[in-house]
Amino acid sequence: MKKLQLFSLLIAFAAAALLVASTFGGAATEADRDVSVAVADDDSAYVGYDTEIISIESNQTVEGETLVTLTNGFSDPVTVETTEKTIPSAIDSIDAPNQIDEGEVETIDADITCNSANDGGEVAITISVETTSSTAAVDLKDTETRSFNINCDVES
């Protein structure tokens, strides 16, 4: 029985030594490939933004003027949330989509009134996007605020 106990003790010691030794494996790795990160142009972005300077004649009201065009580059629908940061008095109301289907284009529109009481100004809107698919979840909250100008050609 003594030989069996000695043999069992040696096996247990060897197993413990192997377990301890395996925890001291390599802690660092080195890759032979370079990694780079770059910001995509809006043409290549998951969500593209397109704005233009808007000019409206004096004493004119325009309904449904496009402020921002949004393009969904994801392979799934995206939920859109807009936060109005700076809105000049020339804008009466803003209409933004809640969702953009995959590959679709939607617009953020506004009703604008230009008169002697308001001369346009800078518009700043923050657009947040969220999508969930079977392979990934993307939450682009607190994205960059997009700014653009509305020019009211108001006669003095």
Count: domains in the chain: 1
For the stretch 52-69, pLDDT in tens is 788 888 888 899 999 888
Does residue 61 lie in a domain region?
yes
Does residue 87 lie in a domain region?
yes
- Domain of 136, in residue numbers: 47-153
| Domain harbouring 69, CATH code | 2.60.40.10
Tell me if 62 sits within 8 A of 112, measured CB to CB.
Answer: yes
The one-letter amino acid at 79 = T
Q: What rounded mean pLDDT belongs to the chain? A: 76
Does residue 86 lie in a domain region?
yes
Reply yes or no on whether the pLDDT at 94 is more than 60.
Answer: yes
Per-residue pLDDT, 91: 85
Does residue 11 lie in a domain region?
no
Reply yes or no on whether the pLDDT at 31 is more than 70.
Answer: no
For residue 6, what is the enclosing H or E element?
A: helix 2-22
Does residue 39 lie in a domain region?
no
Per-residue pLDDT band for 140 (boundaries 50, 70, 90) equals low
Distance of alpha carbon 62 from alpha carbon 91, whole angstroms: 10
Per-residue pLDDT, 70: 87
105-130 burial, b at 16+ Cβ within 10 Å, e below that, comes to ebbbbbebbbeeebbbeebebebbbe
125 in helix, strand or coil? strand
